[in-house]
Structure 1
Amino acid sequence: MSLVLVADDEPAVLEVLSQVVEDLGHDVIQARDGEEAWNLARSRRPSLVVTDHMMPRLSGLDLCRRLKGDELLGRVPIILLSAVLPHGAPEAHAFLHKPFEITDFEALIRQALTEAPRAKPLEGSTAVEALGTWVGKGLEGPLSTARAQVERLRVEGKADGGALETLGAQLETLESMKRDIQEAAYLAARTVTLSPVMVDLGELLRHSLETWKQGRPGVKWTLEASASAVELRLDLERMRRVVDALLGHAGRHGGEVRVELESTPSLVTVRVKDAGPGVSDEELRHLFEPFRVEGSGSGLGLYIASELTRLHGGGLSVESKRGQGTTFSVILPRG
Structure 2
Amino acid sequence: MSLVLVADDEPAVLEVLSQVVEDLGHDVIQARDGEEAWNLARARRPNLVVTDHMMPRLSGLDLCRKLKSDEVLGRVPIILLSAVLPHGAPEAHAFLHKPFEITDFEALIRQALAEAPRTKPLEGASAVEALGDWVGKGFEGPLSAARTQVERLRAEGKTDGGALETLGAQLDALESLKRDFQEAAHLAARTVTLSPVTADLGALLRRALQTWGPGERWKLEAPAGAVELRFDPERMRRALDALLGHAGRHGGEVRVELESTPTLVTVRVKDGGPGVSDEELRHLFEPFRVGGSSSGLGLYIASELTRLHGGGLSVESTKGEGTTFSMILPRG
Q: Do both share a fold (TM > 0.5)?
A: yes
Give the RMSD, CA atoms, in angstroms: 1.9
Give the structure, 1 or 2, with the largest relative contact order (CA under 8 Å, sep 6 or more). 2
Name the structure 1 match of 2:189.
189
Counterpart code for 1:257: V
Name the structure 1 match of 2:139.
139
Report how many aligned residue pairs link the two structures: 210
Name the structure 2 match of 1:268.
265
Distance in 2 of aligned mates of 1:298 and 1:248: 9
Name the structure 2 match of 1:229.
226
Counterpart code for 1:333: P
Name the structure 2 match of 1:311.
308
Determine what percentage of the aligned residue pairs are the same residue: 81
Counterpart code for 2:255: R
Name the structure 1 match of 2:165.
165
Name the structure 2 match of 1:334.
331
Distance in 1 of aligned mates of 2:217 and 2:292: 21
Q: Any conservation in 2 of the 1:208–1:240 contact (CA below 8 Å)?
A: yes
Q: Offset at 1:125?
A: 2.1
Counterpart code for 1:262: E
- The verdict on how the C-alpha distance between 1:298 and 1:319 changes in structure 2, with shifts beyond 3 A counting, is closer
**1:238 equivalent in alignment to 2:226:** no
- The verdict on how the C-alpha distance between 1:127 and 1:291 changes in structure 2, with shifts beyond 3 A counting, is closer
Q: Any conservation in 1 of the 2:136–2:179 contact (CA below 8 Å)?
A: yes
Name the structure 2 match of 1:128.
128
SS class of match (1:291):
coil
Q: Any conservation in 1 of the 2:280–2:293 contact (CA below 8 Å)?
A: no
Name the structure 2 match of 1:180.
180
Q: Any conservation in 1 of the 2:246–2:295 contact (CA below 8 Å)?
A: no
TM-score, normalised to structure 1, is 0.60
Q: Offset at 1:240?
A: 0.7
| Residue in structure 2 matching 1:277, options 269, 274, 279 | 274
SS class of match (2:205):
helix
Distance in 1 of aligned mates of 2:317 and 2:294: 22
Counterpart code for 1:154: R
Matches within 5 A, 1:14-93: none
TM-score, normalised to structure 2, is 0.61
Q: Any conservation in 1 of the 2:285–2:299 contact (CA below 8 Å)?
A: yes
SS class of match (1:327):
strand
**1:286 equivalent in alignment to 2:283:** yes
- The verdict on how the C-alpha distance between 1:297 and 1:163 changes in structure 2, with shifts beyond 3 A counting, is farther
Distance in 1 of aligned mates of 2:208 and 2:292: 22
Structure 1 spans left out of the alignment, 5+ residues: 1-122
Q: Any conservation in 1 of the 2:284–2:294 contact (CA below 8 Å)?
A: no
Distance in 1 of aligned mates of 2:138 and 2:148: 17
Counterpart code for 2:195: S
Distance in 2 of aligned mates of 1:294 and 1:209: 29
Structure 2 spans left out of the alignment, 5+ residues: 1-122
Could you list the structure 1 runs, at least 4 aligned residues long, displaced by more than 6 angstroms after superposition: 294-298
Distance in 2 of aligned mates of 1:151 and 1:294: 35
Counterpart code for 1:157: G
Distance in 1 of aligned mates of 2:244 and 2:201: 15
